A = this chain, B = another copy of it.
């Protein structure tokens, strides 16, 4: 099942375009990785905020949709803690709570040393529509 969910998220073309890979996923949890290359930097030569957000957002999407119920982000709040250094960043999403209609997730972004560089809190709206993985 994990492989089928990972395959499904290969259809997330923006995440793929941003070099993001889903490593682990199950209902309520996901781990994603982004290898940092030249195109991830901003004009001030640090990893661009949108790249970090996109990494966190993919983990959020994977974790919150993995149970098969389509969940769309309503709101996401990201706090940047320090610049991402090194060659890889990872985002880990965990469910805080969910009911039939809404789901709340925390997503932490870590550098290669396991230091937290950003955190996101996301609120999703759960649709009736199902995903067939």
- Among B54, B80, B116, point to the contact of A74 (Cβ < 8 A): B80
Contacts of A41 in B (CB 8 A): 12-14
A42, B54: Cβ atoms closer than 8 Å: no
Assembly stoichiometry (copies) = 4
Interface of A is mostly: mixed
A97 in contact with B81 given A38-B13, A40-B14, A54-B53 (CB within 8 Å): yes
Q: Could you show 25 A-B contacts with beta carbons less than 8 Å apart?
A: A8-B43, A11-B42, A12-B48, A13-B39, A13-B42, A13-B48, A14-B39, A15-B42, A17-B18, A50-B53, A50-B55, A53-B54, A53-B76, A54-B54, A74-B80, A75-B77, A75-B78, A77-B77, A77-B78, A79-B121, A79-B123, A81-B96, A81-B97, A119-B121, A121-B121
